[in-house]
Amino acid sequence: MKKSLKILGIILLLLGVFVLKTLWESGYFKTIENHFEGETQKIEGLVGTEDITIDQSTGIAFLSSDDRWAFRLKKPITKGSIFCMNLNDSLPKLVNLTVNFPQEDFHPHGISLFSSPSGKKTIFVVNHRKSGNYIEVFNFRNDSLIHETSIADELLISPNDVVGVGEKSFYVTNDHDEKMSSWRSIKDLLKVGMGNVCYFDGQKMTKTSIENIKYANGINVSLDGKTLYLASSSANKILVYNREIATGKLSEFDEIKAKTGVDNIELDTEGNLWVGCHPQLLKFLSHASDEKSISPSEIIKIKYLGKGNFEQKTMYINDGSEISASSVGAVYKNKLLIGPVFQNRVVLGKIR
């Protein structure tokens, strides 16, 4: 009997340690104090702007919009959109670039812009259709999006984000390597790494060496294309890989311990990383299933200086009252555009 009680006590102790560790890593005990060195304004009119990328040569921002709450809360589902806005304008206007896109089953997620040396601008978009997952490829020309092709592959199991590295080539993250199930949810709770990265070389999709990642999320490459950055959301890290430009081969190099729930990664003209973050992941989960529940937002700037060396600064943090569950922060000059996973707004900040 005493032996059984001792075993039970050990089990309860281990369970308690696991729960406390999970709460700590999720940011449960963090104190959120609203802060931004500048002025902000809310821009209403588009829903679920999960990802944003900006053409630094023109100031045009591309925004991926879809009603993600509709899926979760079983509401009527409408077609998603890609919007743009010119951040050089004093009052930027939203323009729907896909209003005439004939694909009605369009639900954009991660988005990426690749500008070729010849000046061609290619937009890659993760699209979750009912029939399966696709990467939609568009050409942005004369202020219009022209659809070029749809890429499907059995390796696109749970695609989250994409980064274009050529006119036809890209990397894509799968946040999980298996479809949604109760068992997958249990493994998420236990923080089992199930994410991976795949590479499309213009002809075929292959797995890279990056596997078993704890929620593989945002992805981007350095300005010279020689380094790849990968957000591991539930590990609160950005993983850094060396990249062979000619072959697309990746080799692990470093990790940035951001200590917050990292999501999408954007770069400024100096190569600094701007990362949308969820500082309290449990509140994010509550927000995902309840429109009245708010979740804090955070945008961090990371200056990566080499192996084991980086500088990190919180550029924006809010308790969720201005914008909830920020998944992306894209910067152009002194303007910061923040997008949420679910809400019907974006925030445009002007940095002092």
Phi/psi of residue 311, each to 5°? Answer: -115, 135
DSSP 307: T
Q: Do residues 299 and 339 lie in contact, with contact meaning Cβ atoms separated by under 8 Å?
A: no
Give the H or E element holding residue 329. strand 326-332
Token pair in block for residue 99: 């209003």
The first and second tokens of residue 3, run together, are 């032996």
> How deeply is 115 buried, as exposed, middle or buried, from its count of CB atoms within 10 A (0-12, 13-18, 19+)?
middle
Catalytic residues: 109
d(CA 63, CA 329): 11
Over the Cα atoms of the chain, what is R_g?
Answer: 20
Pairwise CA distance, residues 12 & 18, whole Å: 10
Separation CA 200–CA 174 (nearest Å): 13
The answer to whether the CB of 202 falls within 8 A of the CB of 171 is no
Spatial neighbors of 100 by CB under 8 A, at least 6 apart, are none
Instruction: Please give the torsion angle defined by the CA atoms of residues 48, 238, 55 and 338, in that order, rounded to the nearest 10 degrees.
Output: 40
The partner residues of 238 in beta bridges, in order of sequence, read 231, 256
* Burial class, 191, CB count within 10 angstroms (exposed 0-12 / middle 13-18 / buried 19+): middle
Strand 237-243 and strand 227-232: pairing? antiparallel
